[in-house]
Structures are given as structure tokens and as C-alpha cells.
Amino acid sequence: MAQSSAPFVHLCLVSGLVHHSGVLLAVPEEAVAQKSIHLGAFGIWNFQLDVLPAARMQETAAELEELGYGALWFGEATGREALTKAALLLAGTKRMVIATGIANIYGRDPVTMSAAQKTLAEAYPNRFLLGLGVSHIPLVEKLRGHKYDKPVSTMRAYLDAMDNAPYHVLAPISKSPRVLAALGPKMLQLSAERADGAHPYNTTPQHTAQARELLGPDPYLCPEQAVVLEKDPAKARAIARKFLAIYLTLPNYTNNWLRLGFQEADIKDGGSDKLIDAVIAWGDLKTVLNRVQEHHAAGADHVCVQVLTDDSKTFPIREHRELASAIPRK
């Protein structure tokens, strides 16, 4: 079961406006103050660290930490194994929270997942956040050779097995939290009942508000927000469409967009401008950070920003530096 928490500090309250590097930005209250893990208001979500050699990946993570980002999130598909990668990133940083967004539950059995989580929590107290997800049919059945089952019941059974897993060595000082990749109402409810919160992906501030209502005030709510630092509409939308192409074929995402009020036509032919603009924030620094603030105002504790560029094979360090220059440090 999710661990108990102290009184919740809601991030829709802001302490004021800060003019920083030419950007007027609302500053949220201290993020996730009710938990032992302090994510901060802003984090990074990234796949492209996998293009770097392991040592360079650690050096880059250390720079991101110095830039002031509170957490570094990454996914799991055909790159580095998630828990090993988390260990490398934890070893290469000093303060930043390292979070899986997500570790695929079909990739390892519950006993192994539980042991890995406790191992990292013991070695790096209050710095590892385990994000779990059921992934998608192609990645589970075609890539891994498993049968993809009903998401909510499968996740519930997996969490039961994790909670009952033996671990007969030195335990971590404090319980390491877990969050679930959650889009629909049933998985969001499970995130509140059996985990410590939710990590939605490819969503909107409207979804964040709905998720907060379903989760209640205490659990983590950590949405991902993709951004393109490009002011030309055609160029920005082209980058966004390239990124969203695979997700437009996955029912987990398309069904969620339909629940949010989009139509089937919005999902066809690379996505309508309406859908692209709602899911991907593009423009100058002020514009993209305003979208992040909309998530905070809707109830997010922490927003992990995924920077998109036209070159998916190069880590966008320049853009991360630019974003960091506009995020006030507290």
C-alpha cells in the first residue's frame, strides 16, 4: 500500500512571479514537500541519454543536476535496461532524483523488480523513484514475446507480488516510493490505492486536473510535457508530428485523447494541428514554460519536460541549458 504522508502542499498555489532571463514565470510552492523524495517542480524526461556512452551519460546527468533540475526520468524500450541505467545515473549524480518513466513490468518478474528497487533505495536513500507501467502490445508481444493482458488487473496482481516478495538482506532506511504510468481513470485510481501516485505521459493540463481529482490531494502527480523550442509553426509541428507518429498508433494513448474530447479525425494523418498543439508545447521559452505552469496550476507536483528537436540521435544539451536559464532556483 502507498506510504502515509504529511499534509499536502498543493502546487496550484504560487509564491509569486519571478523575472528570470527575460521570462516571467510563476514560481510554484516547494514541490512534493510531503514526501521523503523531493522532486522539485521541474524535471527532465529523456530517451536520448541512451545515445551517449555510459561515462558520458553520467557526466551529462551531473551537468543537468548542476543546472537545477530536480529529477531525471527515462523510459524503457530497446535501449539500456532501466534499473541498471538508474544505478549508473545515481552513481554519476549527488542530489538529483532518478526516476524510471517507466520500467516495463513485463521486463522482469515482481521479485526481481522489488529487489532492484530496494537495492537502489538502500544505496541511494531518497533518490530513486520507481515508475512502473504495462507498456504496449507491440513492445510486450512482438519484442518481448509475452502475452499482453488486461492492464489494470495485471498491474494489480504485479503490485501484490511485489509487496509479498522476500528480501532477506539489509533493507533501505525508508520505503522507496513507486508511481504508475496512468492515463485512464481505473489505472489512476490504482495509482492512488496501491502506489504513491501517477506518471501520465503525452497528456494535457486538462488531463492533469482530472487526474488530480481522481488521485486525491496526497499522491504524487508527475506528468511529462514534451516541448519544442521553435517559434515557426510549420517547423515546430513537423518536429512534434515526427515524435508523436508512433504514439498515434498505440491505443493506450489514442483512447485517452478521445476521452479528453478529441475526435478520430484528430488522430489520423499525423494528427491534427489541434491535437499537436494540445499535447506538444512549442514556441519561445515563455510559451513552453507557461504550459508547464498550467500543469502545476491543474494539480501537478512535478512536471518532467521532454525536449524535442529535429535530431533525435543527439542529446539536446543546449536546449536543456536554455530551459534551465529560465527556471528560477529556490
Cα distance between residue 160 and residue 65, in whole Å: 34
User: At residue 57, what are phi and psi to the nearest 5 degrees?
Assistant: -60, -45
Q: Indicate whether 116 pLDDT > 70.
A: yes
Tell me if 133 sits within 8 A of 181, measured CB to CB.
yes
- Average pLDDT for 120-128: 96
Tell me if 293 sits within 8 A of 281, measured CB to CB.
no
Tell me if 219 sits within 8 A of 39, measured CB to CB.
no
Over residues 236-252, the pLDDT tens digits come to: 999 999 999 999 999 99
Q: Give the three-class secondary structure for 130.
A: strand
Tell me if 71 sits within 8 A of 79, measured CB to CB.
no
Greater pLDDT, 37 or 18:
37
- Res 290: pLDDT: 97
Q: How many helices (H) and strands (E) does the chain have?
A: 13, 13
Q: Indicate whether 259 pLDDT > 50.
A: yes
Over residues 50-95, the pLDDT tens digits come to: 999 999 999 999 999 999 999 999 999 999 999 999 999 999 999 9
Amino acid at 37: I
Q: Indicate whether 296 pLDDT > 70.
A: yes
Q: Indicate whether 8 pLDDT > 60.
A: no
330 pLDDT band, cuts 50/70/90, is low
In terms of Cα–Cα distance, which of 289, 306, 320, 312 is closest to 63? 320
- Res 329: pLDDT: 64
Greater pLDDT, 25 or 64:
64
- Res 316: pLDDT: 97
Greater pLDDT, 6 or 201:
201
pTM of the predicted structure, to 2 decimals: 0.89
- Average pLDDT for 253-281: 98
Cα distance between residue 154 and residue 48, in whole Å: 29
In this structure, what is the dihedral angle of CA atoms 284, 20, 62, 33, given to the nearest 10 degrees?
A: -110
In this structure, what is the dihedral angle of CA atoms 81, 86, 91, 96, given to the nearest 10 degrees?
A: 150
Cα distance between residue 70 and residue 302, in whole Å: 9
Strand partners, 132: 103, 180
Q: Give the three-class secondary structure for 48.
A: helix
Comparing 102-116, 237-251, 269-283, 314-328, the range with the smallest average pLDDT is 314-328
CB atoms < 10 A from the CB of 172, how many? 18
Q: Indicate whether 30 pLDDT > 50.
A: no
- Res 18: pLDDT: 37
Rounded to 5°, the CA angle 48-50-52 comes to: 95
In terms of Cα–Cα distance, which of 12, 27, 43 is closest to 324? 43
Over residues 127-165, the pLDDT tens digits come to: 999 999 998 888 888 888 989 999 999 999 999 999 999
Q: Give the three-class secondary structure for 71.
A: strand
Percent of the chain as helix, strand, coil, to the nearest 5: 45, 15, 40
